[in-house]
């Protein structure tokens, strides 16, 4: 990762403004639930990801990502709170607008899971769990978490993982004997198996360097958006205080470097370089209104 290049390219932090009302994932989820063939529709895109030497285009990434998002939403639906979903989309889209891909079809949502975690899928879907949302203390911490996940999308981390050993073996196994799948039900099951295989990426985790890059670049995006970039440090400190044996963090701790390792990396590579942006926005009335805190 080119930390110096990333920090050198940091634009002057912009004043926080209210972006246009952003749609949540509700429409997408409704379509996914109404269309049982959605998972089957991404089989072709997933088959292509098996070729590690092939570049996956934006449309294929979006198709693959929508299928993965549908799989995640099938396991944990969106929290039934339209105000919260709209708010997280507002913050997420504003942070994403500071990136090199502001016009990507960014969609953000809070899923109803007590676990502490967050996920990004290729193409621009970012999901944060209710368990993590409940532990965030202000809007700048939310912006830091979303900036981290936005970076995974920007750097194609999940797509690369699906093309590597992390997802490749599971997907290949699911596609073995594809000629046997003659009926609609069988093909639908194949689609589900393929998506399940690709979703192993979330169970096995990304490379630690990808997580470190997402932390640093996420801080840069938060600073550009007018937030205190060091709020992500506060989030990691909060995570570090949770007992590792707590079931709510077991998946996250098994798929990410430890909070302390991430803090150490930030200290070595960022240090005080973003200090002049530390006076950025931290809390807002809309955070309190959306979360009740």
Determine the pLDDT at residue 195: 53
Mean pLDDT on 65-74: 82
Instruction: Read off the pLDDT band of 22 (50, 70, 90).
Output: very low
Determine the pLDDT at residue 60: 74
CA distance 229 to 147: 10
Residue bearing the bigger pLDDT, 202 or 288: 288
pLDDT exceeds cutoff 90 at 102: yes
Q: Are 237 and 187 in contact (CB under 8 A)?
A: no
Distances (CA, A) of 164 to 59, 157, 168, 171: 20, 11, 6, 11
Mean pLDDT on 12-41: 42
Determine the pLDDT at residue 202: 66
Q: Are 173 and 46 in contact (CB under 8 A)?
A: no
Mean pLDDT on 119-140: 96
Instruction: Read off the pLDDT band of 36 (50, 70, 90).
Output: very low
pLDDT exceeds cutoff 70 at 250: yes
Mean pLDDT on 212-231: 97
CA 90, 72, 194 angle in degrees (round to 5)? 135
For the stretch 147-188, pLDDT in tens is: 999 999 999 998 888 777 545 554 444 444 444 545 555 545
pLDDT exceeds cutoff 50 at 29: no
Determine the pLDDT at residue 182: 53
Name residue, tokens 């949502």: 109
For the stretch 259-282, pLDDT in tens is: 999 999 999 999 999 999 999 999
The pTM score is: 0.78
Lowest mean per-residue pLDDT among 55-64, 194-203, 219-228: 194-203
Residue bearing the bigger pLDDT, 182 or 103: 103
Strands 118-121 and 125-129: antiparallel
Determine the pLDDT at residue 65: 81
Enumerate the H helices of the chain as residue ranges: 3-8, 26-34, 38-41, 43-49, 58-75, 82-96, 130-133, 139-154, 157-163, 165-175, 184-198, 200-204, 208-224, 231-240, 250-255, 259-269, 285-291
pLDDT exceeds cutoff 90 at 42: no
Determine the pLDDT at residue 158: 87
Question: What's the mean pLDDT when you consider all of the chain?
Answer: 78
């Amino acid at each position: 990762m080119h930390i110096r290049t990333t920090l050198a390219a940091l634009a002057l932090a912009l004043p926080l403004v209210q972006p246009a009302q952003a749609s949540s994932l509700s429409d997408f989820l409704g379509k996914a639930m109404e269309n049982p063939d959605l998972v089957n529709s991404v089989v072709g895109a997933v088959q292509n990801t098996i070729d590690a030497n092939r570049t996956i285009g934006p449309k294929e990434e979006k198709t693959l990502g929508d299928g993965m998002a549908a799989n995640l939403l099938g396991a944990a639906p969106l929290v039934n709170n339209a105000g919260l979903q709209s708010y997280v989309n507002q913050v997420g889209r504003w942070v994403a607008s500071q990136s090199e891909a502001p016009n990507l079809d960014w969609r953000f949502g809070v899923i109803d899971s007590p676990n502490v975690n967050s996920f990004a899928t290729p193409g621009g879907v970012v999901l944060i769990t209710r368990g993590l949302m409940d532990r965030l203390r202000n809007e700048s911490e939310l912006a830091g978490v979303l900036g981290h996940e936005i970076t995974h999308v920007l750097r194609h981390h999940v797509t690369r993982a699906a093309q590597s050993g992390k997802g490749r073996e599971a997907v290949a196994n699911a596609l073995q004997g594809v000629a046997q799948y003659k009926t609609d039900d069988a093909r639908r099951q194949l689609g589900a198996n393929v998506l399940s295989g690709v979703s192993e990426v979330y169970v096995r985790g990304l490379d630690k360097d990808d997580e470190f890059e997402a932390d640093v670049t996420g801080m840069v995006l938060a600073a550009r958006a007018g937030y205190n970039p060091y709020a992500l440090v506060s989030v990691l400190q909060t995570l570090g205080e949770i007992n590792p044996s707590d079931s709510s963090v077991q998946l996250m701790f098994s798929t990410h470097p430890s909070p302390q390792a991430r803090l150490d990396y930030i200290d070595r590579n960022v240090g005080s370089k973003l200090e002049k942006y530390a006076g950025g926005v931290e809390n807002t009335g809309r955070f309190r209104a959306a979360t009740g805190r």
